[in-house]
Amino acid sequence: MKGKYTEEFEARLRKHYDELKWLYYELYHSDEQAFEYFCGMLNQYYEDRPAYLKESDRYRESHPDWYRGNDMLGMQMYAGPFAGTLKGIRGHLDYISECGVNYLHLMPLLLSPAGRSDGGYAVADFRKVQPELGSMEDLADLAKECHDRGMSVCLDFVMNHTSEDHEWAVRARKGEIEYQQRYFFFDNWEIPNQFEKTVPQVFPTTAPGNFTWCEEAGKVVMTTFYPYQWDLNYANPTVFNDMTANMLYLCNNGVDIIRLDAVPYIWKMLGTNCRNLPQVHTLVRLMRMACEIVCPGTLLLGEVVMEPSKVVPYFGTLEKPECHMLYNVTTMASTWHTVATRDVRLLRHQMEAVFALPKEYMFLNYLRCHDDIGWGLDYDFLKSFGMEQVPHKRYLNDYLTGKWYGSDARGELYNDDPTLGDARLCGTTASLCGIEASEYEKNQEKLDRAISLDIMLHAFLFTQSGLPILYSGDEIGQLNDYTYHEDPLKSDDSRYIHRGNMKWDEAELRTDPETRQGRIFQALRKMEKIRNTCGVFNEKADTWILEPYNYHILAIGRYYRGEKLIALFNFSEYDETAWINEVEDYRDLMTGEPRAARAVGVPAYGFVWLITSFRNEAEET
């Protein structure tokens, strides 16, 4: 190996070489030729990496916690609905900066077939941008300007499958065995039927089953998600090599964070549920090492939709890490459960589980995203309060779609399965909080309450350790967009209700404190600035749950380097009291006024941030 590569690349490769080779050989049966090709491919992408990105890599290598500060704030968006094109996003970077955002998550924008894209998650070419959005050069230019402004860029990497229109799939349909081996093709239904005995269905109502008959090839192909999304066979080293190359190509075009989409699904084995198999972790570890060799400034964000205790393996270990960050999906779902029930006990239980995890584990936290809300709650815990799974899910969906008497929430169901009594939920944060219904009724009292709930939920988001991310439009309380019902390519997917076009005319109202847009925008900016400047929001802070003796109030404590925060969140539509009794002298972070942390009154759907300092007594090192 010595002398074969440049000094920098060789040093990085040497650091990982033994483990890289061992894992690769274990997974691919000591395929020396494939491994040598893999190493050569890594070197090629290192050589092709732009100089400014290499410089950024070196800085981030020497500052490995660059993404962990409490000044980090993300925003997630679809390029088209937000600004029409990638160039359009560049034209709105001042607005994004004004929002306090320094982590920009661009939703899928690679080439996908119209009407069979699953929102961009059926990729036909990993190296081409959807033409109406721009080009790969436009993506690289946007990323470069983001970097110049101190922003990092995240992009989805759909690694479990390709579109049936991808070149590999087209050639597989024509009967080329080499390309059929990149997927899961079967001559008849015998083996697929055996898989079906143990593999759950992802979308049992809209896309039942895990296999599809391919008429042109005369064979059965595995399609876990939708019939037009063909699962890749990662047991074939060519698939892993080429998909890693696709990932590194995106990195070399300025992408800082790779969101590994549906990562638990990427290894298939007969007789299992084809989820979270050990080989998945080997693949993610190999990809982590590939990034650390070629582009060490890159982060891996794992999309793993499970409770925190079960997603932990995707962090790897401190010695052999896998993902840098994971989604905190269960806290998001538990939050909306709490909105519907006004009872914080499940959310409290959820937060206790998160707080018990090592501080090295970093979560990406959010209230809403591009996807639906799935009710993957701790039903064993809820059962102790008499809540049974099926009727409770029905209640949550009835409440958050406004069917429940007295509810002002306005959402829609997704993948409703009457047989199982199950459905997921869609809607913007503002509409689920009741803002849409209040404005429709022109009821100012209701509107004030709904805006308070929206702001309180964001305060809770900012109080959690990790990286908070906003869904574009939430910063101005954007409402549901029902026009998708009129689009034949979207009408059967209710997730488009919260994927509407950015309302730029409404964004113009963000400085007017008399408007819904201004009230939410200004409140969020104030909280973001407080979070940026107060060390107690640092992700290394000690965190715990306090007992407020009130099931409507969630009480969280944080401590970091001599500062202590008491955060109280009222999920009730009535004023409530947190029966705490903290002896120190506190200050209200939102008003700046002194305030005792004893029997604290919290207004309906309101929150309180109280802070005290021990810095005269504690070391500040």
CA-based nearest residue to 323, from 557, 525, 154? 154
pLDDT for residue 167 is more than 50:
yes
Its sign, for the CA torsion 332, 334, 338, 341, is: positive
1 has a pLDDT exceeding 70: no
The range of the structural domain enclosing residue 220 comes to: 161-231
Q: What is the pLDDT of residue 415?
A: 83
pLDDT attached to residue 416: 84
**Integer CA distances (angstroms), 529 to 72, 452, 523, in order:** 11, 19, 10
pLDDT at residue 119, rounded to an integer: 86
CA torsion sign for 95, 100, 101, 102 is: positive
Asked whether residue 281 is domain-assigned, the answer is: no
Tell me, rounded to whole angstroms, the distance of Cα 176 from its chain centroid.
Answer: 37
> Is the entire prediction scored with pTM above 0.85?
yes
The token pair at 547 is 């007992």
Question: What integer is the mean pLDDT of 364-389?
Answer: 93
- Contact call for residues 319 and 412 (beta carbons, < 8 A): no
Residues 505-549 pLDDT 10s: 999 999 999 999 999 999 999 999 999 999 999 999 999 999 999
Residue indicated by tokens 């721009």: 134
Strand partners, 326: 302, 363
To the nearest whole percent, how much of the chain has pLDDT over 90? 91
The answer to whether residue 318 sits within a structural domain is no
DSSP letter, residue 207: B
Quote the tokens at residue 470: 């906003």
pLDDT of 462-513, one tens digit each? 999 999 999 999 999 999 999 999 999 899 899 999 999 999 999 999 999 9
CB of 608 closer than 8 Å to CB of 568 = yes
pLDDT confidence tier of residue 410, bands split at 50, 70 and 90: very high
Inform me whether the pLDDT recorded for 618 exceeds 50: no
Does residue 569 belong to any structural domain of this protein?
Answer: yes
Assess whether pLDDT exceeds 60 at residue 443: yes
203 SS3 class: strand
Q: Which whole number is the average pLDDT over 423-428? A: 95
Measured CA to CA, the distance from residue 65 to residue 63 in angstroms comes to 6
> Which has the minimum average pLDDT: 3-12, 83-92, 186-195, 344-353?
3-12
SS3 132: helix
pLDDT at 4: 77
For residue 117, pLDDT over 90 is answered with no
The pairing of beta strand 412-417 with beta strand 362-366: unpaired
Please confirm, yes or no, whether 303 is among the known catalytic residues.
yes
Could you give the CA distance from residue 412 to residue 361 in angstroms, rounded to a whole number? 33
- Give the N- to C-terminal CA distance of the chain in Å, as an integer: 43
- 519 domain residue, yes or no: no
Residue 156 lies in a domain: no
Q: Report pLDDT for 2.
A: 55
On whether residue 606 sits in a domain, the answer given is yes
What span, in angstroms and rounded, lies between the C-alpha atoms of 554 and 570? Answer: 7
**pLDDT attached to residue 308:** 67
Q: Tell me the torsion sign for CA atoms 576, 581, 585, 589.
A: negative
Element (H, E) at 562: none
Query: What pLDDT is stored for residue 115 in this prediction?
Result: 86
Torsion of CA 434, 435, 439, 441, to 10 degrees: 10
| Residue 563 clears pLDDT 80, i.e. is over it | yes
Q: Is the confidence at residue 224, as pLDDT, over 50?
A: yes
The dihedral sign for the CA sequence 577, 580, 581, 585: negative
Which two three-digit tokens encode residue 252?
């070399």
Going by C-alpha positions, the residue among 215, 297, 207 that lies closest to residue 258 is 297
Over the chain, what is the mean pLDDT?
Answer: 95
Region 170-189 average pLDDT: 97
pLDDT of residue 489: 87
Which residues lie closer than 8 Å to 60 by C-beta, 6 or more apart? 66, 296, 297
pLDDT band at residue 143 under the 50/70/90 scheme:
very high
Q: Distances from the Cα of 404 to the Cαs of 76, 284, 383, 397, 588, in angstroms?
A: 31, 44, 22, 9, 36
- What's residue 570's pLDDT? 98
pLDDT for 463: 98
| Residues near 446 by beta carbon (within 8 Å), at least 6 away in sequence | 408, 434, 437, 438
Of 197, 231, 265, the position where a domain reaches its end is: 231
Alpha carbons 187 and 164: distance in angstroms, whole number: 18
Beta bridge partners of 594: 587
Tens of pLDDT, residues 271-308: 999 999 999 999 999 999 999 999 999 999 999 877 76
Name the catalytic one among 138, 156, 256, 261: 261
Digit-coded pLDDT (tens) for 380-403: 999 998 899 999 999 999 999 999
Question: Phi then psi for 34, rounded to 5 degrees?
Answer: -65, -40
Q: Structurally, how many domains does the chain consist of?
A: 2
| CA neighbours closer than 13 Å in the CB half-sphere of residue 240 | 26
**pLDDT tier at 192, thresholds 50, 70, 90:** very high
261 annotated active-site: yes
Residue pair 103/72 in contact by the 8 Å Cβ criterion: yes
Residue 7 has pLDDT above 90, yes or no: yes
pLDDT tier at 3, thresholds 50, 70, 90: low
> Catalytic: which of 118, 303, 436, 439?
303
Residue 268 placed within a domain: no
CA 331/CA 324 separation, integer angstroms: 19
pLDDT at 6: 92
Domain of 200, CATH number, reads 3.90.400.10
Q: Which pLDDT score, from 0 to 100, does residue 276 have?
A: 93
Asked if residue 573 belongs to a domain, the reply is yes
User: Last residue of a domain, which of 172, 200, 231?
Assistant: 231
Phi, psi of 397 (to 5 degrees): -70, -40
Domain boundary among 184, 203, 231: 231
For the CA atoms of the chain, what is the radius of gyration?
25
Residue 588 and residue 245: Cα distance in Å, rounded?
51
Q: Report whether pLDDT(257) > 50.
A: yes
pLDDT, one tens digit per residue, over 20-55 is 999 999 999 999 999 999 999 999 999 999 999 999
553: CATH: 2.60.40.1180
Does position 342 have pLDDT exceeding 50, yes or no? yes
pLDDT (0 to 100) of residue 439:
98
Alpha carbons within 13 angstroms on the beta-carbon side of residue 65 total: 11
